[in-house]
Structure 1
Amino acid sequence: MRKKTGLRIWRRFCRDREGVALVEFAMTLPVMLVAYIGMVEVVQLVMINRKVTQLTSALSDLTARVQTVSTTDIDNIFNAAQTILMPYDNSKASMVIASVVIDSAGVARVCWSNQRNGTAPARGATVTVPDSVRVANTSVIMARSSYRYTPAIGYVLTGSFTLGDSPIYARPRNGVAGGTANIEQVTRTGTNACQPFN
């Protein structure tokens, strides 16, 4: 009698499907959570990276539109461009704007530069520019920005990532001819046009 009862209970247990979904859910929940958290962190990284590219483009574009910029103008350009980063923390962004003059030998050197939370190249410093930009006796506005991204959760992506930091170039649209070679450039108030670079 006991054997039959035990066998009956065992068969009933094997046929019982109540709670199977709960057990399966409990087994897959950790995997789903890791996948969700990883997706959120990667999407945030991609969105901020795109905003940094737009920020860099705005810096070069806004500066290339004018003939002369003052320190106040540069501050206004930085302020306007960094609004692109909203809703992200703009204090984690570094921005650099530089006017680069390419001489008759194709050597690119910095005429003037400004930065916010970054390091700007000094006047006269040689910089490497792409061949498509290196046109003798011309100038370009070079902008560079980067963003220090640290994932909020830091479970799938750990540590900090530097996003951006690739220069974008823009030709002056309304520059003035200056320097000994009369190269069209955006000049900065209180700084001599280039060349010379001293």
Structure 2
Amino acid sequence: MKTRAAALLRSVAALCNDRRGLAAVEFAFVLPLMLVLFFGTVEFSSGVAVDRKVTLMARAASDLTSQSTQVVDADLQNFFSASVGIMTPYDPTPTKVTLSEIYVDASKVARIQWSKAGVMATGATQATLTASSRSQGDVVTSVVPAALLVAGTYLIFSEVSYKYVPTVGYVMAKSGINLTDVAFTRPRQSVCVFYAPTSATMPTTCSTY
């Protein structure tokens, strides 16, 4: 009996002293954390890159519009398509771009004069125009920087939103992160930028709604 007990104790002691496979066991414990850190770094880097592109898109859309004296739906569609192209190589379909013109009245109240939005369908090469969430006459004073609230002036206002969904959802928000940015530019060739669906209905005076 004592011999068996002694043998058992020796076996336990030998097992405790056995270091074979220790590195593999430690690696198995550390591997999940390493994978989370790796994919987290990759997804974070991609998110930062997409956020930067959202900023560039907002600036491009506003700048292209401000260089015109008048725009029709076909022009806006081209502007939207050009700005969305900046998103390459990332998927452009979660993108929504909104272009508006703002008038600042004598009381420094900013109101929407016209507004149009564009989205990108899956596999499409041209943007699709959609109704904007902003309407003519909407007050948007709160979104305009104080330095740009100059009475009697117009602003081209672009808004871009992009829903970034990480490839590996468990390291970031599974439902995605909404990335947004805005840009303001003043009309360069005229006091305001006229808008109409077609040139046949183009106004001849700047609106002051």
Fold in common (TM above 0.5): yes
Moved more, 20-29 or 34-43: 34-43
1:185 aligned partner, one-letter code: C
User: In the alignment, does 2:75 pair up with 1:63?
Assistant: no
User: In the alignment, does 2:187 pair up with 1:172?
Assistant: yes
Aligned residue in 2 for 1:91: 93
Q: CA RMSD in A?
A: 2.3
Q: Relative to 1, partners in 2 of residues 1:110 and 1:3: Cα closer, same or farther, differing over 3 Å?
A: closer
Query: Matches of 1:106 and 1:89 in 2, distance apart?
Result: 39
2:145 to 127, 130, 135: 130
User: In the alignment, does 2:156 pair up with 1:141?
Assistant: yes
In structure 1, stretches of 5+ residues that fail to align are 176-183
- In the superposition, the TM-score normalised over structure 1's length comes to 0.83
How many Å apart are 1:97 and its aligned residue? 0.5
1:14-163 correspondence runs (5 A) = 16-117=18-119, 119-128=132-141, 129-157=144-172, 158-163=174-179
What's the CA shift string for 1:44-68, capped at 9, x where partnerless? 2222111111111111111111222
What's the CA shift string for 1:5-64, capped at 9, x where partnerless? 777766665554432221111110111112222222222222211111111111111111
Partner SS, residue 60 of structure 1 = helix
- In the superposition, the TM-score normalised over structure 2's length comes to 0.79
Q: Percent of aligned pairs with the same residue?
A: 36
Q: Count residues with an aligned counterpart.
A: 188
What's the CA shift string for 1:102-135, capped at 9, x where partnerless? 1222121112221114634222222122211100
Q: Relative to 1, partners in 2 of residues 1:121 and 1:10: Cα closer, same or farther, differing over 3 Å?
A: closer
Query: Matches of 2:33 and 2:114 in 1, distance apart?
Result: 53
User: In the alignment, does 2:192 pair up with 1:185?
Assistant: yes
Moved more, 150-159 or 26-35: 150-159
Q: Relative to 1, partners in 2 of residues 1:196 and 1:28: Cα closer, same or farther, differing over 3 Å?
A: closer
